[in-house]
Structure 1
Amino acid sequence: MMDKAYEHKEVHIDNLYLDPKNFRLVHEIEFGQKIEDITDPVLQTRTRILVTGNKNENIDDLLLSFTKNGYLPVDLIQVTNLSEDKYEVIEGNRRVSTLKVLYERYKLGLDIGGLDPSIFSTIPVVVYSEKSLENYQIIMGLKHISGTKSWPAWNQAKYLHYLIHEKKLNEKDVADTLGIKSGTIKRALRTLGLIDQFRICEFGEQFKPDMYTIFEEIIKSPNLRAWIEWDEENLKASNSKNLNRLFNWLSIDEEDLDDNTNGDNSPGERIIKNYTDIRNLRSILDDERTLLYMENTKSVDKALNYKDKQELLEAISISPQTGNDFSKNTVVLKNTLIEKVTNHFCSVNIENYKLFRNFRVENLNKINIIAGINNTGKSSFLEALYFLTRLNDIFGYYDVFRRRGKFHDELDFSWLSSVIPDEINISGNFEGKSISTKLVKEEESINNLNKNSYITSLNLIATVEDRTFTTQSRLFIEKENEIFYDKIHQLCFSTYTTPFSMQNQEELIRLHEKSVETRNIERIVKFINSRLDSGIENIELAGEMKRFLVNHKNFKSAVDITNFGEGFQRIFHISLQFAAVENGVIFIDELENALHHSLLVEFSKFIGELAEIFNVQIFVTSHSKECINALVNNCLTNSFISAYRFNYENSQITSNYYSGPSLARLIENLDLDLRGGL
């Protein structure tokens, strides 16, 4: 029996037993399922197959690494003691499974590459005592929930449920310890409650863990919760009629499962296929006619288009029964005001935003480089222009401040109220039109406002020439915000990307869809193959959870994109932007971040080509002289480039303008450093 919390040992591979209740396998073996003997050979074989895959496809990367580089104990395997010389693996089941596969090959006399066979009898582990195991489970949560090696959402939710309901830990303590919000835990428990109801309905056997995000999106929607009459105290829906209807939309019809008339062994389709369908469902939930259309067509997207067409027909006084073919109608529904663009932004004036006061920039061009020393407003300048493109779309402001505050999940509106300025005022000229956006923060004195939960109000006023668009947002604590608007308008398509926004999976999915539609994905893969890794064959979205998987000739099966370097991911993310903002604007903060300087020349040339293909205006900030020089030397012709050095002097920001040709000459002849001096 150990006296201390843990000790280091070297253990033989045969004395390490895989954990059949590992949180990575939570969808295969339920918590609470009693396991008589963890050392049972049948149970161990089953567990190993769950970890490795039937053909070791789940450990391809580790097999390649171990046989090429040997075993590198960067992260020690964590175990608990089963008996005197037997240990249960609580962290490192993939690595142990990989070593077991290679040990079997070694005993058969097969090649194990550069792996030293002595490792099989001297595997370094950390053995935790029973007393310290609970603390370790918290550490495991830090690593796999709020850390760098996150589990899928379903596994995270089940782990949180385990800590609170099995280990009897307090919600607030778990949130504080793991560095997450209490709201995240509450939402996970609500989602699991709804899933429990689904699993006992007639379609329950169809549940799969990658459906978790669909149920989570239902719980996040106030009007869907109201529709199913969500009971917060018991964590269950109480409107059985609407709940059964919702579960039908989430399921494949039993007749479709039994009767495959297509002869292709493919089952029928669910009406709700992913979490984006839930977001669209919210828009049609109050329209029974549209819901019936959705059930007939088995498509949320078609139902949403149907609803839009009906509303438009009514607005232009065309009866649906007149026989007019809507597909031939010249009226097109768009959320952008300016579609045909040739000149984009030519000037901008920031009257009031952060350090900017009456700051004006002119001579804006196709590609605009913003440089300067730290704290001269480069990123804030991109944010201001991004606000202009979003007009009265308050969610654009939310998005920027969410990134500023590095919130991975929901924005903290109490925090937002404390950091957002009392007034933001920005104007400019886009495609020859005068535009402006103004946001004012003010407290309302309305009698029926609950002062205990009310924080403040944000009033957003946007103009394009003589047209005015407004939005008001009331912020609350522990209550859904209230947003009032006639219609949300955007100036043009735009994206704002920072190194932090690489983690926004929903945005990546949207951008990828457009790149596939325009075949831009083929250009991106070709560039990555020729400039980064010649083994790359394709990058695809896969599964309900929509993960990016990379097909590589060195791996038997596709691997998650997060297994590749940050530079690889950044290039992929930035390149996806262009097709999605055709005729619009891209704002790229710190272009060089995570990119090796050897890639900057070719990548700057590539984004210049994409800007030309999709008619996109680019604004780039950079702290790198190599990056700036690469942009000047490789993006289109220098006549399409404008460059600005931002300075902070006498408590105000000023700028120096350089045309592309002028900057190129100064760099060539004087080695000008645009960031701040020769």
Structure 2
Amino acid sequence: MVNSFSMRNFRCFRDAEVDGCTRVNVVVGDNGTGKTSLLEGLFLVRGVSPELAVSTRSWRGLEGVHLSAEQADIWDALFSDLFFAFDTNKQALISMKGKQDENRSVTIQMQNRTRPPSPRRDNPSVPPQTIPLRSPIRFIYKLNGEVEDIVEPEIRNSEISFTKALGEHVNISLISANRPLSHQETLSQFSHLSQHYSDAQFVTHFSKIYPSISGISVEIAGGSPVLCASITGLPKKIPLSLMSSGITKLVSILLSITKQAGGIVLIDELENGFHYSHLSQIWESLLSFSRHYDCQLFISTHSHECLSFAAEFAKRNPTEFAVIRVAMKKNEAQIRILDGYRFVNAVEENIEIR
């Protein structure tokens, strides 16, 4: 459980700190204020791998980085946006503190791209020629004040490679607003539940939101495994993906919570794909699953309806909710946090907090 975190010189955050995180943290703010960057920062520090930074780029649709370009251009294209105002002369730092004195941090440094070799001994008057660094970017991970774990990506044969970090990977998932949900990952997670006789409980919760669905199972269709739903009144099971994107998304979210037991699930733009009439039951399931699997949630939203339904549950469980509000001032993202009590009061008084 993350209690607090800070981001310095990371993306749009020059110096931001948040204290008072709880089980369900709702992230709000205007477009372009840094909500997604906040979630990606948490994802990066908990995942102990710089490969995650490249993955989040692709989820935003930035997949057109050609490794056939000059190496300096490749490093800039892949990593310079991680630094506030693209200032790679300053290191970026993301740190967090959790329960039981668990502290984590990642420092991102863009080193000088060239370095001078030692002067030639046979002719010291000849000025040395600079040579390029093997990798100008480095990620320094630290857990609970232990020895630093340094990871430096490399480019080999026109492909970027990552050495494996020694630090422990903490359970965390990021459900991106722009990322196509992995059908294979969803199948694998549900299969894991089924193997441990936990699928019935999952279906029970899910059917409260969509009563027409009486069962979920993995079936073979056309030689490939497919996640199917049993629908009341239909003589044959139907693939979930053919029902609606919202149903498929909710299954993936709830399955992610079961997979990341004791960890964190980050959800960008929760309301996308859902009809407003289901939002209350969705929040109920999110809270129920997060409690049962001891999972912490960070959820961004633009929707007033989504916030209003969240406030209904925050009113009954104020200590389990917090709102993280991100606003842009003078090209710098600033953060303010509201506890569950102030969140409920703001919604009831019709105070705009989005």
Match of 1:374 among 17, 26, 31: 31
The DSSP-based 3-state class of the residue aligned with 2:151 is strand
2:208 paired with 1:530: yes
- Answer whether contact 1:520 1:579 (CA < 8 A) is retained: no
Relative to structure 1, is the Cα distance of residues 542 and 434 closer, same or farther in structure 2, using a 3 angstrom cutoff? same
The DSSP-based 3-state class of the residue aligned with 2:21 is coil
Total equivalences in the alignment: 320
User: How far apart, in 2, do the equivalents of 1:557 and 1:445 lie?
Assistant: 67
User: How far apart, in 2, do the equivalents of 1:520 and 1:376 lie?
Assistant: 40
Relative to structure 1, is the Cα distance of residues 503 and 435 closer, same or farther in structure 2, using a 3 angstrom cutoff? closer
The DSSP-based 3-state class of the residue aligned with 2:351 is coil
Counterpart of 1:438, as a letter, is T
Relative to structure 1, is the Cα distance of residues 533 and 455 closer, same or farther in structure 2, using a 3 angstrom cutoff? farther
CA deviations on 1:345-385 (whole Å, 9 max, x unpaired) are 11111012111111111111111111111111011101111
- Within a 5 Å distance, the mapping from 1:193-232 to structure 2 comes to none
- Answer whether contact 1:366 1:641 (CA < 8 A) is retained: yes
Q: What stretches of structure 1 of length at least 5 have no aligned partner?
A: 1-343, 448-453
For residue 350 of structure 2, what is the aligned residue in structure 1?
A: 671
Counterpart of 1:534, as a letter, is S
User: How far apart, in 1, do the equivalents of 2:254 and 2:134 lie?
Assistant: 39
Relative to structure 1, is the Cα distance of residues 545 and 620 closer, same or farther in structure 2, using a 3 angstrom cutoff? same
- Answer whether contact 2:265 2:298 (CA < 8 A) is retained: yes
Relative to structure 1, is the Cα distance of residues 482 and 552 closer, same or farther in structure 2, using a 3 angstrom cutoff? same
For residue 396 of structure 1, what is the aligned residue in structure 2?
A: 52
For residue 325 of structure 1, what is the aligned residue in structure 2?
A: none
Relative to structure 1, is the Cα distance of residues 523 and 643 closer, same or farther in structure 2, using a 3 angstrom cutoff? same
Q: Which has the higher contact order (CA 8 A, sep 6+)?
A: 2
For residue 420 of structure 1, what is the aligned residue in structure 2?
A: 79
- Answer whether contact 1:348 1:427 (CA < 8 A) is retained: yes
2:149 paired with 1:469: yes
Higher share in helix: 1
- Answer whether contact 2:105 2:143 (CA < 8 A) is retained: yes
The DSSP-based 3-state class of the residue aligned with 1:481 is strand
TM-score by length of 2: 0.80
Match of 1:430 among 87, 92, 98: 98
User: How far apart, in 2, do the equivalents of 1:634 and 1:561 lie?
Assistant: 28
- Within a 5 Å distance, the mapping from 1:440-455 to structure 2 comes to 440-442=109-111, 443=113
> How well do the aligned residues superpose, as a CA RMSD in angstroms?
2.8
User: Once the 2 structures are TM-superposed, how far is the Cα of residue 516 of structure 1 from its aligned partner?
Assistant: 3.0
User: How far apart, in 1, do the equivalents of 2:256 and 2:237 lie?
Assistant: 23
For residue 286 of structure 2, what is the aligned residue in structure 1?
A: 607
- Within a 5 Å distance, the mapping from 1:484-633 to structure 2 comes to 484-485=163-164, 487=166, 489-490=168-169, 492-517=170-195, 519-540=197-218, 542=220, 545-633=224-312
For residue 351 of structure 1, what is the aligned residue in structure 2?
A: 8
The DSSP-based 3-state class of the residue aligned with 1:503 is coil
User: How far apart, in 1, do the equivalents of 2:272 and 2:189 lie?
Assistant: 20
User: Once the 2 structures are TM-superposed, how far is the Cα of residue 608 of structure 1 from its aligned partner?
Assistant: 0.1
User: How far apart, in 2, do the equivalents of 1:444 and 1:540 lie?
Assistant: 54
- Within a 5 Å distance, the mapping from 1:50-89 to structure 2 comes to none
The DSSP-based 3-state class of the residue aligned with 1:500 is coil
The DSSP-based 3-state class of the residue aligned with 2:166 is coil
Q: Percent identity?
A: 15
User: How far apart, in 2, do the equivalents of 1:568 and 1:426 lie?
Assistant: 34
User: How far apart, in 2, do the equivalents of 1:441 and 1:483 lie?
Assistant: 16
For residue 332 of structure 2, what is the aligned residue in structure 1?
A: 652
The DSSP-based 3-state class of the residue aligned with 2:153 is strand
User: How far apart, in 2, do the equivalents of 1:579 and 1:496 lie?
Assistant: 14
The DSSP-based 3-state class of the residue aligned with 1:509 is helix
- Answer whether contact 2:61 2:178 (CA < 8 A) is retained: no
Relative to structure 1, is the Cα distance of residues 611 and 444 closer, same or farther in structure 2, using a 3 angstrom cutoff? farther
User: Once the 2 structures are TM-superposed, how far is the Cα of residue 455 of structure 1 from its aligned partner?
Assistant: 9.7
User: How far apart, in 2, do the equivalents of 1:653 and 1:406 lie?
Assistant: 22
Relative to structure 1, is the Cα distance of residues 644 and 486 closer, same or farther in structure 2, using a 3 angstrom cutoff? closer
2:341 paired with 1:661: yes
Structure whose CA Rg is larger: 1
User: How far apart, in 1, do the equivalents of 2:276 and 2:289 lie?
Assistant: 20
CA deviations on 1:635-661 (whole Å, 9 max, x unpaired) are 561111111221111221122321101
User: How far apart, in 1, do the equivalents of 2:65 and 2:220 lie?
Assistant: 28
User: How far apart, in 2, do the equivalents of 1:481 and 1:666 lie?
Assistant: 47
- Answer whether contact 1:470 1:485 (CA < 8 A) is retained: no
- Answer whether contact 1:373 1:647 (CA < 8 A) is retained: yes
User: Once the 2 structures are TM-superposed, how far is the Cα of residue 662 of structure 1 from its aligned partner?
Assistant: 2.0
- Answer whether contact 1:521 1:576 (CA < 8 A) is retained: no
User: Which piece of structure 1 moves more, 508-517 or 348-357?
Assistant: 508-517
Counterpart of 1:384, as a letter, is G
Higher share in strand: 2
The DSSP-based 3-state class of the residue aligned with 1:583 is coil
- Answer whether contact 2:107 2:141 (CA < 8 A) is retained: yes
Relative to structure 1, is the Cα distance of residues 500 and 523 closer, same or farther in structure 2, using a 3 angstrom cutoff? farther
CA deviations on 1:137-187 (whole Å, 9 max, x unpaired) are xxxxxxxxxxxxxxxxxxxxxxxxxxxxxxxxxxxxxxxxxxxxxxxxxxx
Counterpart of 2:244, as a letter, is G
Relative to structure 1, is the Cα distance of residues 400 and 603 closer, same or farther in structure 2, using a 3 angstrom cutoff? same
User: Once the 2 structures are TM-superposed, how far is the Cα of residue 631 of structure 1 from its aligned partner?
Assistant: 1.4
Counterpart of 1:398, as a letter, is V
- Answer whether contact 1:366 1:618 (CA < 8 A) is retained: yes
